[in-house]
C-alpha cells in the first residue's frame, strides 16, 4: 500500500521546506491561489504565528479576493501593526474602503500604534468614501503622533483634502511642509488640475516646481487639453524635455478631439514608439471625425506593421466599415475575430450587427444577433434600427415588443428605431401608439429626434396638418430636423403654403444649408411658379448657398471608390463612358423616359437628361457592372436621398442586367431586384 505515517511525514517535511523557502525568501512570490491555500493550511497546522505577516504580504502581492485575506486576518490572535497595515492596504486598494475603516477602528480599539504606513491608506479610504470628517480624524492622529511632518503622510493629506474638494486645507498642508518631494508637488498640481480645473494656479506651481518629472508634465498638458486650450498644451508638449508614450498619446488625443488631424498625424509619425493605444486614438478619432477612408487606410498600415488589435480597434474599424459600406473589409475583421479567438463581447457584437446592417447584409446581422447570449439594450437597438433601415418595419416592431419579454427596457434610441420603422412603411397608428407609450409606459421624455420622426411619419402619409399641429404643440423648440421633415413632406404632396412656412423657420435656424432652398425651389417649379423658383435660386446665388453635392461609393475587392455628380476623374475612363451609354441605350429600349422634372435649370431637355445620366449613383452602378462578376450583388452608399429618376432607372437596370442592386441613401436601404424595390416606392 502507498501512504502511511512515513509518507505523510515526508509530505509534511517537503511542504515545510517549500513554505519556509517561500515565506522567508525576499525574491520569491506565491503565484497561484492554490499554493497560497496550501501555505494557509500549513501555517495553521504548524502554528507558525510569527509567519502570519509574511503570509499576508503574499496575499497583497497576489491581489486575490480581499475577503480571503480578511478571513485569514481574523484568525490571527493578536495582530501587530505590520499585519494591520497590510490588511488595510489590501482592502483599500481592492475597493473596500468601508472594510478598511472597520479594521482601522479595531486597530484603535486594540491600542495598536498607528504609523506613517497606516495613515496614508486611511486617507485614501476617506476620499473613496467622501468622508471628510474621518479624514480630519486621520489628520489629527497624524499630528498627535508627530507624523504630520512625514512627507509620505503629508502628501496623503494633500490628496485627502483635494479629493474632498477642500482646496484651502490642501494648500495649507502643502505650504507648511518643511520638505517637499516630487510626489508632493505632483499631488498639489494634480489637485488643481483635476479637482479645481484652475490651470492658472496649477501652471504657477508647475513653474515653481524644482524638479519636474514626466508625470507632472503629463498632468499639466492633460489639464490644458481638458479645458480646450490646445495652444498651451501644444507649447508645453514641445518644451517637455522627455516625451514618453503616455504624453504623446495624450497630446494626440487632444488634437483629435478638436479635429486637428494634421497635428495628430505629425505627433503619431514622430513617435519613437507606438502602442495599440496610439493607433486606436488616431483611428477612432478619424472615425468620429467622419474621415472613414483615412481611418481604414491607417488600419491597413497598422496591420502591415503587425500590431495586435484589441476590442477598441475592432469596434472603431467596424464603425468605419459601417459608414463606408465596406462589407468586404467588415467581413475580414469578423474572420479575424474568429481566427484570433476573440471573445465576442456585447460591444463587438453590437458593432458587427451595426456593420452588417449598414452594409446591406441584414441576414448576417440577424445571425450575429441570434448567436449572442448576452443582449443589452444597445444590441437590441442596433438590430431594430437595422431592420427599420431595410424597410423590415413589421419585424422591427416585433423585436421592439419582444424586448419586454426578454426583460430589456427600451431607451430613447430604441423608440427612435421603432418610429423610423413606422415612418418607412407609413404605419401611422403604430407610430402614434409607440410615441404615446414613451411617457405613459416607458417613462421616457420625447426628444427632438422623436418629434422629427413623428413629423416625418405623419407628413409622408399625407397628414400635413396633423404634422404641423404636432410641431406647434411641442414643449421644446423645434430644430432643423423637425422643420426639414415637414418641408420634405410638403415636396412629396405639393403643399406650397406649408413649405413656405417651414422654409422661413429653417432660414431662421440655419441660413447656410442649401438643401432646403433647393427643395423649396423644386416645389415652386413643380407648382409652375417659375417667378418664385427664380427668386429662390437668385437668393442662393447672392448668399452663396450651395446644395450639398451628391456622392456615391462602391466597394470593389476591399477598395472603396467614390463618385460625384459628373465625376471628371472617373469619366476619363472610356469603359465607364461606354457602360453609361450602354445603360442609357438599354433603358430606352424598355421604354424608360428620364424624369427631367428632377432637374430645374434653364437648359434644354436633352441637357437635363444628360445631367440625370451622370448622377453619382448611376456612375457607381456602371462601375459596379464593369468590375464585378455577372450576377454579383452591387452595393452602393449615397450621401443624399435617392431622387425619383434614379430610383426608377435603378429598378429597370436591376431587371435588364439581372443584378440585385442595394443602395443605402441618407434615410434607408433600397433593395432593387427584378425591376422592383423593397421600399415599395414609399421613401
Look at residue 605 and tell me whether its pLDDT is greater than 60: no
The pair phi, psi for residue 662, each rounded to 5°, is -110, 120
Within 10 angstroms of residue 473's Cβ, the number of other Cβ atoms is 8
Architecture of domain 448-542: Alpha Horseshoe (1.25)
pLDDT at 1: 43
pLDDT at 347: 95
Q: CB of 550 within 8 A of CB of 638?
A: yes
Percent of the chain with pLDDT over 70: 87
Query: What's the pLDDT tens digit per position in 216-251?
Result: 999 999 999 999 999 999 999 999 999 999 999 999
Query: What's the pLDDT tens digit per position in 326-349?
Result: 999 999 999 999 999 888 999 999
- What would the grid cell of residue 285 be? 478619432
CA angle 454, 456, 459 (to 5 degrees): 105
d(CA 346, CA 357): 16
Higher pLDDT among residues 287 and 548, named by residue: 287
CA atoms within 13 A on the CB side of 489: 29
Look at residue 215 and tell me whether its pLDDT is greater than 50: yes
Q: CB of 295 within 8 A of CB of 287?
A: yes
CB environment 261-297: b (16+ within 10 A), e (fewer) = bebbbebbeebeebeebbbbbbbbbbbebebbbbbbe
pLDDT at 56: 62
Distance of CA 15 to the CA centre of its chain: 52
pLDDT at 221: 97
Could you tell me the CA-to-CA distances from 156 to 89, 152, 160, 223 in Å, in that order? 14, 6, 6, 21
Classify the phi-psi angles of 618: left when phi > 0, otherwise alpha if psi is within -120 to 50, otherwise beta: alpha
Query: What's the pLDDT tens digit per position in 357-384?
Result: 999 999 999 999 999 988 999 999 999 9
Q: Which of these, 596, 598, 591, lies nearest to 606 by C-alpha position?
A: 596
Q: CB of 107 within 8 A of CB of 141?
A: no
Torsion sign over Cα 26, 32, 33, 38: negative
Residue showing cell 484603535: 108
Q: Which of 3-7, 159-163, 274-278, 532-536 has the lowest mean pLDDT?
A: 3-7
Look at residue 200 and tell me whether its pLDDT is greater than 70: yes
Contacts of 158 (CB under 8 A, 6+ apart): 170, 173, 174, 184, 187, 188, 191
Q: CB of 560 within 8 A of CB of 571?
A: no
CA angle 293, 298, 304 (to 5 degrees): 130
d(CA 383, CA 418): 11
d(CA 224, CA 462): 53
CA angle 177, 178, 183 (to 5 degrees): 55
* Helix or strand run (H / E) with residue 638: strand 634-638
Query: What's the pLDDT tens digit per position in 295-304?
Result: 999 999 999 9
Within 10 angstroms of residue 322's Cβ, the number of other Cβ atoms is 24
The pair phi, psi for residue 191, each rounded to 5°, is -60, -45
Query: What's the pLDDT tens digit per position in 148-178?
Result: 788 999 999 999 999 999 999 999 999 999 8
The order of strands in the sheet holding 551-556 is: 559-564, 551-556, 634-638, 661-664, 669-673, 676-677
CB-based burial label for 602 (10 Å; 0-12, 13-18, 19+): exposed
**pLDDT confidence tier of residue 42, bands split at 50, 70 and 90:** low
Residue showing cell 507632472: 216
- What would the grid cell of residue 121 be? 491608506
Q: CB of 153 within 8 A of CB of 147?
A: yes
pLDDT at 599: 57
d(CA 353, CA 364): 8
Helices (H), 426-563: 428-440, 448-460, 464-472, 480-493, 496-509, 514-526, 530-542
Within 10 angstroms of residue 302's Cβ, the number of other Cβ atoms is 21
pLDDT at 598: 58
**pLDDT confidence tier of residue 626, bands split at 50, 70 and 90:** very high
Helices (H), 308-345: 311-324, 327-339
Domain ranges of the chain: 448-542, 569-677
Contacts of 38 (CB under 8 A, 6+ apart): 15
Look at residue 47 and tell me whether its pLDDT is greater than 80: no
Look at residue 556 and tell me whether its pLDDT is greater than 70: yes
Look at residue 255 and tell me whether its pLDDT is greater than 60: yes
pLDDT at 607: 47
Within 10 angstroms of residue 570's Cβ, the number of other Cβ atoms is 18
Look at residue 606 and tell me whether its pLDDT is greater than 80: no
d(CA 325, CA 320): 8
d(CA 337, CA 346): 14
Q: Which of 134-143, 149-158, 649-658 has the highest mean pLDDT?
A: 649-658
Stretch 125-129: mean pLDDT, rounded?
A: 90
Stretch 479-499: mean pLDDT, rounded?
A: 95
Amino acid at each position: 500500500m502507498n501512504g502511511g505515517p512515513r509518507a505523510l511525514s515526508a509530505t509534511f517535511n517537503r511542504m515545510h521546506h517549500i513554505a519556509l523557502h517561500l515565506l522567508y525568501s525576499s525574491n520569491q512570490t506565491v503565484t497561484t491561489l492554490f499554493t497560497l491555500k496550501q501555505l494557509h493550511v500549513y501555517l495553521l497546522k504548524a502554528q507558525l504565528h510569527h509567519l502570519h505577516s509574511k503570509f499576508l504580504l503574499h496575499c497583497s502581492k497576489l491581489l486575490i479576493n480581499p475577503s480571503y485575506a480578511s478571513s485569514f486576518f481574523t484568525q490571527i490572535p493578536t495582530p501587530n501593526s505590520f499585519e494591520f497595515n497590510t490588511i488595510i492596504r489590501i482592502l483599500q486598494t481592492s475597493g473596500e474602503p468601508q472594510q478598511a475603516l472597520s479594521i482601522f477602528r479595531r486597530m484603535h480599539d486594540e491600542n495598536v500604534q498607528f504609523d506613517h504606513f497606516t495613515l496614508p491608506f486611511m486617507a485614501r479610504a476617506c476620499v473613496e468614501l467622501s468622508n471628510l470628517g474621518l479624514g480630519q480624524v486621520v489628520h489629527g492622529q497624524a499630528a498627535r503622533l508627530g507624523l504630520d511632518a512625514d512627507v509620505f503622510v503629508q502628501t496623503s493629506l494633500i490628496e485627502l483634502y483635494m479629493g474632498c474638494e477642500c482646496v484651502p486645507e490642501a494648500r495649507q498642508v502643502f505650504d507648511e511642509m518643511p520638505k517637499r518631494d516630487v510626489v508632493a508637488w505632483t499631488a498639489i498640481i494634480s489637485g488643481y488640475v483635476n479637482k479645481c480645473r484652475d490651470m492658472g494656479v496649477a501652471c504657477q506651481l508647475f513653474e515653481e516646481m524644482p524638479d519636474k518629472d514626466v508625470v507632472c508634465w503629463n498632468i499639466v498638458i492633460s489639464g490644458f487639453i481638458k479645458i480646450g486650450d490646445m495652444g498651451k498644451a501644444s507649447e508645453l508638449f514641445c518644451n517637455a524635455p522627455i516625451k514618453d508614450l503616455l504624453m504623446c498619446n495624450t497630446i494626440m488625443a487632444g488634437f483629435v478631439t478638436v479635429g486637428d488631424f494634421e497635428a495628430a498625424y505629425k505627433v503619431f509619425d514622430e513617435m519613437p514608439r507606438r502602442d495599440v493605444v496610439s493607433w486606436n486614438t488616431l483611428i477612432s478619432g478619424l472615425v468620429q471625425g467622419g474621415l472613414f477612408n483615412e481611418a481604414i487606410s491607417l488600419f491597413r498600415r497598422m496591420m502591415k506593421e503587425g500590431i495586435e488589435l484589441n476590442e477598441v480597434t475592432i469596434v472603431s474599424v467596424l464603425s468605419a466599415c459601417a459608414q463606408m459600406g465596406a462589407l468586404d473589409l467588415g467581413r475580414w475583421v469578423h474572420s479575424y475575430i474568429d481566427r484570433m479567438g476573440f471573445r465576442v463581447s456585447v460591444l463587438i457584437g453590437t458593432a458587427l450587427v451595426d456593420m452588417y446592417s449598414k452594409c446591406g447584409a441584414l441576414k448576417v446581422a440577424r445571425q450575429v444577433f441570434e448567436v449572442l447570449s448576452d443582449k443589452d439594450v444597445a444590441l437590441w437597438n442596433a438590430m431594430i434600427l437595422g431592420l427599420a433601415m431595410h424597410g423590415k418595419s413589421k419585424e422591427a416592431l416585433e423585436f421592439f415588443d419582444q424586448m419586454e419579454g426578454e426583460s430589456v427596457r427600451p431607451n430613447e434610441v430604441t423608440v427612435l428605431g421603432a418610429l423610423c420603422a413606422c415612418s418607412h412603411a407609413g404605419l401611422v397608428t403604430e407610430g402614434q401608439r409607440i410615441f404615446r407609450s414613451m411617457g405613459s409606459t416607458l417613462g421616457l421624455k420625447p426628444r427632438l429626434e422623436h418629434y422629427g420622426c413623428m413629423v416625418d411619419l405623419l407628413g409622408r402619409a399625407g397628414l400635413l396638418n396633423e404634422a404641423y399641429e404636432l410641431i406647434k404643440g411641442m414643449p421644446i423648440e423645434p430644430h432643423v430636423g423637425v422643420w426639414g421633415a415637414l418641408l420634405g413632406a410638403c415636396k412629396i404632396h405639393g403643399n406650397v403654403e406649408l413649405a413656405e412656412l417651414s422654409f422661413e423657420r429653417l432660414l431662421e435656424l440655419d441660413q447656410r444649408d442649401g438643401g432646403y432652398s433647393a427643395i423649396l425651389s423644386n416645389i415652386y417649379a413643380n407648382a409652375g411658379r417659375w417667378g418664385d423658383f427664380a427668386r429662390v435660386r437668385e437668393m442662393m446665388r447672392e448668399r452663396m448657398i450651395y446644395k450639398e453635392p451628391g456622392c456615391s461609393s462602391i466597394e470593389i475587392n476591399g477598395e472603396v471608390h467614390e463618385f460625384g455628380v459628373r465625376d471628371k476623374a472617373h469619366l476619363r475612363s472610356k469603359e465607364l463612358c461606354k457602360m453609361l451609354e450602354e445603360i442609357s441605350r438599354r433603358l430606352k429600349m424598355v421604354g424608360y423616359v428620364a424624369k427631367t422634372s428632377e432637374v430645374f435649370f434653364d437648359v434644354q431637355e436633352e441637357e437635363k437628361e444628360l445631367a440625370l445620366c451622370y448622377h453619382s449613383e448611376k456612375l457607381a452602378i456602371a462601375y459596379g457592372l464593369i468590375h464585378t462578376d455577372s450576377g454579383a450583388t452591387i452595393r452602393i452608399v449615397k450621401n443624399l436621398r435617392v431622387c425619383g429618376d434614379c430610383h426608377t432607372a435603378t429598378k429597370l437596370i436591376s431587371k435588364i442586367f439581372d443584378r440585385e442592386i442595394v443602395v443605402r441613401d441618407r434615410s434607408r436601404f433600397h433593395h432593387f431586384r427584378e425591376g422592383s424595390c423593397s421600399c415599395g416606392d414609399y421613401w
